[in-house]
Amino acid sequence: MRTGPRAFLPFATPALLFAWLALSATGSRAAAAGSERRLLTVDDHFALRQVEDPRISPDGRWIAHAVTTQDLKKDEARTRIWMLPVAGGDAQPLSAEDEDSSSPRWSPDGRYLAFLSSRGRDEDQEDRDQVWTLFREGGEAVQRTDTAQKVEFFEWSPDGKRMLLVLKDPKPEELAAKQAEEKDEKPEKKTPPPWVVTRRQFKQDYVGYLDSRRNHLYVLELATRKIKQITSGDFDDYCESYLPGCENSQPAWSPDGTRIAFVSNRTDDPDANYNTDIWVVDADNQDRGARLLRITTNPGPDAAPSWSPDGKLIAHTSNLEPNSTALYATYHLAVSSSAGGHSKLLTRDLDRMIFQPRFSRHGDSISFLLEDSGEQNLARVSASGGELVRLVSGARAVSAFDEGPSGAIAALVSEPQLPPEVFLLADGKLERRSHINDELLASLRLGEVADIRFPSQDGTEIEAFVIKPPGFSALRRYPGILLLHGGPQAQYDWSFDFAGQLYAANGYVVVMPNPRGSTGYGQEFCLAIWQAWGQRDYEDVLAAVDTVVNQGWADPDRLAVTGWSYGGMLTNHVITRTGRFKAAATGASATLYVTNFAHDHYQRWWVDELGLPWTPEGRRLYETLSPFNKVDKVVTPTLILGGKEDWNVPIINSEQLFLALKLRGVPSELVVYPDESHGIDKPTHIKDLYARYLAWFGRYLKGR
């Protein structure tokens, strides 16, 4: 799936995916004193580290955060918890280097830091994360949960005596393994039983076939270690990230610790629609959620609840489209009474995407992330509505934030030549606090990033980012790479992009457009590709190429096009409609759309947008839009890549495209990564992927 705030949509992209992957790494690589800066290489992917999840301590003195590194030798990623002084200074590690720990959360009194970790588990139990706590002033970590299944999410209660947990109903083999563990025995290995499918939504990427197990809410009493289930039923009471609006949409305690707000689709058939609502349950519930209070009644998705300090209101995101266009719809900021019965939209006229709303400490305003025309801002609006204030904006992108007791905000901020780092916003000033990748970045020459705007074929203004090779000269033309994002509901912004910088370091001008279908430009702009993939967006990306060629930056005779997921799908549209590109690389892409019906994990989406493939009108759309049906027009040498276990865009699409091009005599290669889903995760596979891209483009654009 795609990364970033909206993780539920099809056809995600490594341009966005690479931006995430590239920030993971192992160790830091120092530049020799006095040496000249060098160009970025593939191996630098494994020297960059990904910073995430900043959290300010209750006393306002510290910022806990996670840092992920990727180890090429061990072929794995590990995450470690660190702590920064708010006033500035060196970071201190809180968790062990060789153990995977994530999701740092301060206790309300600030004495403890809780986190998720699979430490101490056997290799076959490494995905069984449990809650641990560390005393801030030192000592060994203490395990707080020991459930048969992994803990999906946790949060301290306001008084620090309890924790809210999200657990999925355990598998029989998980229960058996837990029982064997308690007896100090090895669990008996059995042949897995067949999957029995009864749900409409029966697949999910990274999971496989789905069963009837559901996510529910539990409360852990820390003193007694007793766990009580407070919701139940054939519903998920946790908004998983592949669903609309559900990125960073966790359950939330009320300020007095008596109630919990959560997101759930409790319609008669949750698999048939996207109608999530905000619900409230008593934290001391004795009937497993038989009595719940429904807060929102909007027929579209509502998500991401945040309580006001007085407990009277809940801020949340709200999507007003209940029908098949919901996946293209804008998420607005709304507030609802925590007693139910009243909701108010605060940003409908803004016509821009809202993420992660959070009430301020005093309750007079709500902060949130805002996508807007190639930017991702941190913004704020009064709790009663009114004028929007942009707290962090301009040529940078904010991806996470947390407000401290004094009103200072720890924010995760990236810039064109800076991977995400922790910044502090206090008294109107934004200052860096973490310097995770400084040593490596000081040794590198990175490409300059320019923002361009230009008219498409019908006059619509389109925006694109262009990364120029280090040492760029306006007196020469460079080979160019058109790098297409996925989603398609996503946008390129001002954040650091490893893939784009890598291509630029190898002498390419990199063009990264936000064509129609992208978010950040309003709902009409996004909806322009509804039932029309590869049409307006094709015109927009070709206009981007024309612009950089007309600027004299790119050589019209040395152009390549590439993308992942929907970016790969749009790549397929490009090469079936024009022969101007000398090379293409299409990753995890769809080609013959009817092939995906009931085979990928979009059991709702295909029907919602294209209809039923056995009806004349539905089949006409499937066939008209499929680039596979124009494969006889392709002359571009094409590299085709994907993960063998991908249930988002299954590898059958890549196989069909490859064989078709092979039979037609078009130079092509098919690369299938074993044990990989929609994203390529293994460090050795990531290195191979980048190397293949560079080799393919070098062969056809540079003759190497």
Residue-wise pLDDT for 521-553, tens only, equals 999 999 999 999 999 999 999 999 999 999 999
Confidence of residue 30 (pLDDT cuts 50, 70, 90): very low
SS in 3 state form for 437-477? CHHHHCCEECCCEEEEEEECCCCCEEEEEEECCCCCCCCCC
pLDDT mean over 125-129: 75
488 is a domain residue: yes
pLDDT tens digit sequence for 619-677:
999 999 999 999 999 999 999 999 999 999 999 999 999 999 999 999 999 999 999 99
CA atoms of 576 and 579, how far apart (whole Å): 8
pLDDT mean over 13-32: 36
pLDDT mean over 325-345: 91
The overall average pLDDT reported for the chain is 91
3-state DSSP call for residue 658? helix
SS in 3 state form for 567-630? HHHHHHHHHCCCCCCCEEEEECCCCCHHHHCCCCCCCCHHHHHHCCCCCHHHHHHHHHHCHHHH
High-pLDDT (> 70) share of the chain, %: 93
Q: Would you say residue 602 has pLDDT above 60?
A: yes
Instruction: Looking at mean pLDDT, say which of 17-31, 176-190, 505-519 comes out highest.
Output: 505-519
Please state, in angstroms and as integers, the Cα–Cα distance from residue 203 to each residue in 199, 247, 608, following that order: 9, 19, 17
pLDDT mean over 15-31: 35
For position 123, what pLDDT does the model report? 59
Query: Contact at 8 Å (CB) between 149 and 170?
Result: yes
Please state, in angstroms and as integers, the Cα–Cα distance from residue 169 to each residue in 142, 152, 232, 288, following that order: 25, 11, 10, 14
Q: Would you say residue 17 has pLDDT above 60?
A: no
pLDDT mean over 442-463: 98
The residue count of the chain comes to: 704
Confidence of residue 150 (pLDDT cuts 50, 70, 90): very high
637 is a domain residue: yes
pLDDT mean over 678-688: 97
606 is a domain residue: no
For position 326, what pLDDT does the model report? 78
For position 121, what pLDDT does the model report? 62
76 is a domain residue: no
- Residue 661 CA to chain centroid, in angstroms? 32
CA atoms of 129 and 131, how far apart (whole Å): 7
CA atoms of 591 and 250, how far apart (whole Å): 35
For position 431, what pLDDT does the model report? 97
Report the relative pairing of strands 92-93 and 354-359 from DSSP bridges.
unpaired
Please state, in angstroms and as integers, the Cα–Cα distance from residue 254 to each residue in 157, 159, 286, following that order: 9, 11, 18
The CATH number of residue 502's host domain is 3.40.50.1820
Q: Would you say residue 21 has pLDDT above 70?
A: no
Phi, psi of 210 (to 5 degrees): -95, 150
Query: Contact at 8 Å (CB) between 673 and 643?
Result: yes
For position 127, what pLDDT does the model report? 78
pLDDT mean over 107-131: 84
For position 341, what pLDDT does the model report? 81
535 is a domain residue: yes
Q: Would you say residue 372 has pLDDT above 50?
A: yes
CA atoms of 521 and 374, how far apart (whole Å): 8
3-state DSSP call for residue 659? helix
Angle at 129 between CA 125 and CA 132, to 5 degrees: 130
Domain carrying residue 540:
444-591+626-701
Q: Would you say residue 119 has pLDDT above 90?
A: no
Query: Which range has the worst mean pLDDT, 84-98, 110-124, 374-388, 600-614?
Result: 110-124
Number of separate domains in the chain = 1
Q: Which two tokens stand for residue 54?
A: 């900043």
High-pLDDT (> 90) share of the chain, %: 82
521 is a domain residue: yes
For position 181, what pLDDT does the model report? 83
Confidence of residue 173 (pLDDT cuts 50, 70, 90): confident
Instruction: For tokens 């009817």, name the residue.
Output: 594
Confidence of residue 366 (pLDDT cuts 50, 70, 90): very high
558 is a domain residue: yes
pLDDT mean over 36-60: 96
CA atoms of 245 and 251, how far apart (whole Å): 14
Q: Would you say residue 18 has pLDDT above 50?
A: no
92 is a domain residue: no
Angle at 66 between CA 398 and CA 125, to 5 degrees: 130
Q: Would you say residue 277 has pLDDT above 70?
A: yes
For position 689, what pLDDT does the model report? 98
CA atoms of 132 and 64, how far apart (whole Å): 15
pTM of the model: 0.93
